[in-house]
Amino acid sequence: MNDVFVTATDEAVTPIRLVRTEALDEFLGSLGDAERRWAERGGFKAKPGQAVWLPDASGAPGRVAVGWDGRDSLSTLGGLPLTLAEGVYQIEGEVTELQLLGWATGAYQFERYRTAERQPARLMLPAAHDGNRLANLAAATTLIRDLINTPAQDMLPSHLAAEADQLAQVQMAECTITEGEALLDRSLFAIHAVGRAATDAPRLIDIRWGDASHPEVVLIGKGVCFDSGGLDLKPASAMRTMKKDMGGAAQVLGLAQLVMAQRLPVRLRVLIPAVENAVAGNAFRPGDVLPTYKGITVEIDNTDAEGRLVLCDAIALAAEESPALIVDFATLTGSARSAVGAEISAMFSNDNAVADAIARAGAAVDDPVWRMPLHRDYNYKLESKVADVVNSASTPYAGAVTAALFLDRFVGEVPWVHFDIMAFNTRYRPGRPEGGEAMAARAVFHYLEQRFGA
């Protein structure tokens, strides 16, 4: 994809000047007469993202001034690639990696089912920046968005497995897929139960990469390719967006691609339980009691609380090897969205140091995460009269917390971070088009680099 950054061109290059909002007067004062009049008639107030053309000495369009709030974020340049005319531009002066990444993420268009009306404007890559790294960061976001935006018809468990397999091949990683009845042979009962009613069989995707001497990090992603709610069927309005219920799987595939491309010295394992939560005669039911990989029995209160079921088998499997860290990503609860909205990732962890560091990393890379309490006193909400635990609490209060507490039972002592994410932009922001989105993945990458990077 990443021809949005160019290193050489025959075309005319238009300079872009970032202007701090509070430095507007100073900027206007520094301009020549014609430039200042164009800026004023253009209504330029140096508001964040606001762009205005300024003339050169001959009166032709010469350069672009862009307002800036002074923050280091995707939004600084993110609105430009699809609003400035096609062509090549160059930032005057300093620019950060995050701002450059914003240009790339703002150039994204989902073109699987129709051709875009225009190409994005391109940017000269400043000499001080690592073009490869930038391309890897951008490619991770593109992959995540493409996977989420692709409708379930073309992103079922089999397609997700093919994507994982291809990614593994490119990076010379190992990819094992356990499919259908074979899940039962491996005691992955919960994954099988949730996915068995679908025509496209449930499966567990397992990617391994890296040097055996490096610390093991396991990334787990909820891969519910479509969530109808199962027999406790969702209402139409809630079902409408459920192609994105594999958003956690998308995060870990994008993040894994980035970790491998950047050759981070970790031993990476990626686990994706990939299922469709469908309705058929053999669907699992409210009241059923499921066995799980760990041996804990689960009474089904609601078949729409399926994400925690597929995750619990993957988490228990991951924990067996006592990795240095397990991180899971999941579009797990509406409750997390009520708590922090669609634009912040809810984070739960059993490790304070790791959680603090990831929260800081997220703030640094414009990928906000907010920690929520893994409040174990609420475990009583998960008590069952017939099994070890229920899959959905008896009261709706703190639904994201009880979902996290359910997962917690399968983790044991391993350091663990759980993200309850939206994985979808419900509105446009510069650098963040509507639709599938990378959420918490960049925060975690930044953290992993800090902790394990050479």
Give the C-alpha separation, 20 to 26, whole Å. Answer: 10
Give the C-alpha separation, 159 to 143, whole Å. Answer: 14
Give, as ranges, the residues between 227 and 266 that touch ligand BES (CB under 6 A): 227, 245
Identified binder of Zn ion from the candidate list 224, 278, 423, 440, rule CB under 5 A? 224
Torsion sign, CA atoms 308, 443, 168, 135 = positive
Q: Which stretch binds ligand BES (CB under 6 A): 191-199, 255-263, 301-309, 372-380?
A: 301-309
**Long-range contacts of range 169-174, CB-CB < 8 Å, 24 or more positions apart?**
171/209, 171/257, 171/260, 171/261, 172/209, 173/207, 173/208, 173/209, 173/260, 173/268, 174/207, 174/208, 174/209
Closer to Mn ion at the Cβ: 54 or 312? 312
Distance in Å, CB of 422 to ligand BES, minimum: 6
Cβ atoms 46, 20 nearer than 8 A: yes
Q: Which of 308, 381, 409, 442 is catalytic?
A: 308
Phi-psi region of 57 (alpha: psi -120 to 50; beta: other; left: phi over 0): alpha
Distance in Å, CB of 157 to Mn ion, minimum: 16
Give the C-alpha separation, 278 to 404, whole Å. Answer: 24
Q: Which stretch binds ligand BES (CB under 6 A): 69-77, 176-184, 304-312, 354-362?
A: 304-312
Identified binder of ligand BES from the candidate list 306, 313, 366, 408, rule CB under 6 A? 306
For residue 415, state whether it binds ligand BES (rule: CB under 6 A). Answer: no
Cβ atoms 281, 198 nearer than 8 A: no
Distance in Å, CB of 245 to ligand BES, minimum: 5
Give the C-alpha separation, 232 to 301, whole Å. Answer: 9
Q: How many residues does the chain have?
A: 454
Identified binder of Zn ion from the candidate list 200, 227, 299, 366, rule CB under 5 A? 227
For residue 100, state whether it binds Zn ion (rule: CB under 5 A). Answer: no
The secondary structure of 333-401 as a DSSP string is -HHHHHHH-SSSEEEEES-HHHHHHHHHHHHHTT--EEE----GGGGGGG--SSSSEESS-SS-TTHHH
Give the C-alpha separation, 339 to 433, whole Å. Answer: 23
Q: Is 329 helix (H, G, I), strand (E, B) or coil?
A: strand
Closer to Zn ion at the Cβ: 163 or 304? 304
Q: Which of 36, 133, 186, 234 is catalytic?
A: 234
Closer to ligand BES at the Cβ: 302 or 425? 302
Residue 302 interacts with, from Zn ion, ligand BES, Mn ion, none (CB under 5-8 Å by kind): ligand BES
**Site of tokens 């400035």:** 84
Distance in Å, CB of 183 to Mn ion, minimum: 19
Establish whether 20 is a catalytic residue.
no
Establish whether 234 is a catalytic residue.
yes
Q: Which stretch binds Zn ion (CB under 5 A): 241-249, 291-299, 340-348, 431-439?
A: 241-249
Identified binder of Mn ion from the candidate list 206, 276, 304, 313, rule CB under 5 A? 304
Give the C-alpha separation, 221 to 310, whole Å. Answer: 10
Return the percent helix, strand and coil in the chain, to nearest 5: 35, 20, 40
Residue 392 interacts with, from ligand BES, Mn ion, Zn ion, none (CB under 5-8 Å by kind): ligand BES
For residue 195, state whether it binds ligand BES (rule: CB under 6 A). Answer: no
The interface mask with Zn ion, positions 288-327, x = CB under 5 A, is -------------------x--------------------
For residue 163, state whether it binds ligand BES (rule: CB under 6 A). Answer: no
Q: Within a 13 Å sphere around the CA of 61, how many CA atoms are in the beta-carbon half?
A: 15
Phi/psi of residue 99, each to 5°?
-65, -40
Distance in Å, CB of 426 to ligand BES, minimum: 10
Residue 337 interacts with, from Zn ion, ligand BES, Mn ion, none (CB under 5-8 Å by kind): ligand BES
Identified binder of Zn ion from the candidate list 146, 163, 179, 245, rule CB under 5 A? 245
Identity of the residue numbered 233:
L
Q: Which stretch binds Zn ion (CB under 5 A): 3-11, 225-233, 347-355, 360-368?
A: 225-233
Closer to ligand BES at the Cβ: 30 or 338? 338
Closer to Zn ion at the Cβ: 224 or 347? 224
Phi/psi of residue 29, each to 5°?
-65, -25
Question: Active-site positions?
Answer: 234, 308
User: Which residues of the chain form contacts with Mn ion (CB under 5 A)?
Assistant: 227, 304, 306
Positions that interact with Zn ion (CB under 5 A): 224, 227, 245, 307
